[in-house]
Amino acid sequence: SSAGSVTATRSPSVAISDDAPGYDLDLFCRPNQYAEDLEKVFIPHGLIMDRAERLARDVMKEMGGHHIVALWVLKGGYKFFVDLSRPMTVDFIRLKSYCNDQSTGDIKVIGGDDLSTLTGKNVLIVDDIIDTGKTRQTLLSLVKQHNPKMVKAASLLVQRTPRSVGYRPDFVRFEIPDKSVVGYAPDYNEYSRDLNHGCVISETGKAKYKA
């Protein structure tokens, strides 16, 4: 089957419609252990990589060349971060806000360097997915307390969901329906990070990996 309606929006993101059927799993290579855990391939790896290159160009153009500190939100954004941040200085922060496929609304900073090192820097926060936006808004507030010169945010995915507080990152690869997508680093309770494609997890997979 085809991917269905995939259209470029006026922003740099690509919007995938709510009724997009995705692709049959058998058309793509995937780890055998996930055979019953996935419903379909939603975003093929090649499309993700092409969007990575374009988004990196947009970031560098807007934020002023190579003088950028990329703040990686562990663990979910690691593949996205590697593709995006090769010409940048890097720093790390680890957050916890999810249980199963829902954001808890609470943000816990559980690792990373002292954010005071960001003072006076051009900072790019890199994450894998935005749903409600509460976690990202809280992190932005924490970063801004240390007076960076500039702070922007990039995300692989933004979900269209009624739970959203209306936050949207400055740079987005894909806007997607309110589905549980795993692969290319986004996970389900730490499972399925190793998939190269963005896939919709099945109800069987949700039950298997439920916290």
Catalytic residues: 131
* Angstrom distance (rounded) from CA 125 to CA 136: 9
The answer to whether the beta carbons of residues 100 and 127 sit under 8 Å apart is: no
For residues 91 and 118, is the Cβ–Cβ distance under 8 A?
yes
Could you tell me which residues are beta bridge partners of residue 125? 71, 153
Whether omega before 206 lies within 30 degrees of 0, making that bond cis, reads: no
CA 132 to mean position of chain CA atoms? 13
